[in-house]
Amino acid sequence: MSSGDGGIEMENRQGGRIEKLIRSDLSRLKAYQSIIPPDVLSERAGIPLERVIKLDGNENPYGCSPRVGRALAGYPFYHIYPDPEQHELRKALSEYVGVDAAHIVAGAGSDELIDLILRLFIEPGDRVINCVPTFGMYPFCTEICGGKVIDVPRDQSYALDIAGIKKVMDEKTKVIFIASPNNPTGNITTQRDILELVELGKVVVIDEAYYEFSGVTVAPLVPQYENLIVLRSFSKWAGLAGLRVGYGVFSTLIAEQLLKIKQPYNINLAAHVALQESLADIEYLRDTVKKIISERERLFTRLGELEFLEPLPSQSNFILCTVKKGDARVMYERLCRRGIFLRYFDNPLLRNSIRISVGKPEHTDTLIEALKEMC
């Protein structure tokens, strides 16, 4: 006990000194609020892992293509470093997206590309426009790069406030982030709004992590606009969240710069194999996407039948609901205790709300039953 305490004291003393060496802006930074892993959820609720209904991460309830596991098990070259220039991957992605491979760079999740884009453009004090409420990764990565986040709230239907964005733009503004469909509101931004922003000449990043659920994209426009970037992911539609594969579509100039500054081996070979195998089994994946979309519509209808909830139409694989009667937090906690996990929001922009990822039909049924019993 005493020797242990001594150890901690020593660490603390050194910690004080080392803290002065840490970048002061980073040492003050709040940690990113990521989702809680299923085993922790299961332990907290005291419910066996296989009975946990995880509807908090917008993950694919059907998992990845069954061919992925087989291909991973049989792959013979894990002892060789992956290709830093991602030739094969970029070629496969180029066929999927329909733009030349010179426009494509893959990342360890689209999260890595958000970080790389900001590293490329942001110097300390530069500004990044964030159309809130939206995905938390944009402000997080901006702050790590020493940039300043300028929040421009969306309007009542969560469309962009284009006039508001124009008003806050200045010389120091470099990048505008727009998730379309937006997380957590589920709505898309129109091509007209996107092009109006592109005309302003800043870097416009359209995050299409949920593209396969909306079918709406501006990726084919990227070769015409050097400041337009489209980010995509295999985490949601292809069920590869745990393997971390995403990609971006960029003007060739930006793509070259990103290839230059990224970690050479950023895509590990397991992710590489999984991505190629997913594209080779695209019919299977398109089928699960269809199932999720039709379940989204059924979930939307069922939620709308509950008089204390108001679900928002979604073009994604999740539904945001305003809790009209009762406390969203209490609802969230009660569901946790029953092993059903959602996201919960209560802030000035998202009052008393829950976000529900679309699961399998049986998950919808269990959730709706639990909600009905609650009121």
Q: How many amino acids of this chain bind ligand PLP (CB under 6 A)?
A: 13
- Contact string (CB under 6 A) for ligand PLP, positions 40-79, x = contact: ------------------x---------------------
135 binds ligand PLP (CB under 6 A): yes
C-alpha span between 186 and 188 (Å, rounded): 7
247 binds ligand PLP (CB under 6 A): no
Choose which of 60, 233, 288, 315 interacts with ligand PLP (CB under 6 A): 233
189 binds ligand PLP (CB under 6 A): no
Identity of residue 218: V
143 binds ligand PLP (CB under 6 A): no
- DSSP letters for 165-226: HHHH--TTEEEEEEESS-TTT-PPPPHHHHHHHHTT-SEEEEE-TTHHHH----GGGGGG-T
Q: How many CB atoms lie within 10 A of CB 101?
A: 18
Which residue, 237 or 300, has its beta carbon nearer to ligand PLP? 237
C-alpha span between 154 and 138 (Å, rounded): 15
Which residue, 175 or 371, has its beta carbon nearer to ligand PLP? 175
HSE on the CB side for 254, CA within 13 Å?
26
Which residue, 207 or 277, has its beta carbon nearer to ligand PLP? 207
HSE on the CB side for 287, CA within 13 Å?
9
| Sign of the CA dihedral with 172 first, then 24, 244, and 285 last | negative
Choose which of 160, 179, 275, 356 interacts with ligand PLP (CB under 6 A): 179
C-alpha span between 168 and 110 (Å, rounded): 27
Which residue, 306 or 343, has its beta carbon nearer to ligand PLP? 343
C-alpha span between 316 and 304 (Å, rounded): 17
Q: CB of 238: closest distance to ligand PLP in angstroms?
A: 10
Task: Find tokens 């979309």 and name the residue.
Answer: 293
Choose which of 183, 227, 251, 317 interacts with ligand PLP (CB under 6 A): 183
Choose which of 42, 86, 110, 142 interacts with ligand PLP (CB under 6 A): 110
Token pair in block for residue 371: 């909600």
CA distances in angstroms from 150 to 143, 147, 189, listed in the order given: 11, 10, 19
Span from 233-241, 248-256, 306-314, 347-355 in contact with ligand PLP (CB under 6 A):
233-241
Find out whether 170 and 192 touch, Cβ atoms under 8 Å. no
Q: Checking phi first, is residue 239 left (phi over 0); if not, alpha (psi -120 to 50) or beta?
A: left
Q: CB of 111: closest distance to ligand PLP in angstroms?
A: 3
Q: How many CB atoms lie within 10 A of CB 87?
A: 10
Choose which of 235, 266, 288, 364 interacts with ligand PLP (CB under 6 A): 235
Q: CB of 11: closest distance to ligand PLP in angstroms?
A: 33
Choose which of 61, 133, 147, 246 interacts with ligand PLP (CB under 6 A): 246
207 binds ligand PLP (CB under 6 A): yes
Which residue, 271 or 371, has its beta carbon nearer to ligand PLP? 271
- Contact string (CB under 6 A) for ligand PLP, positions 158-177, x = contact: --------------------
Q: Please give the residue ranges that form the binding site for ligand PLP (CB under 6 A).
A: 58, 109-111, 135, 179, 183, 207, 209, 233, 235, 241, 246
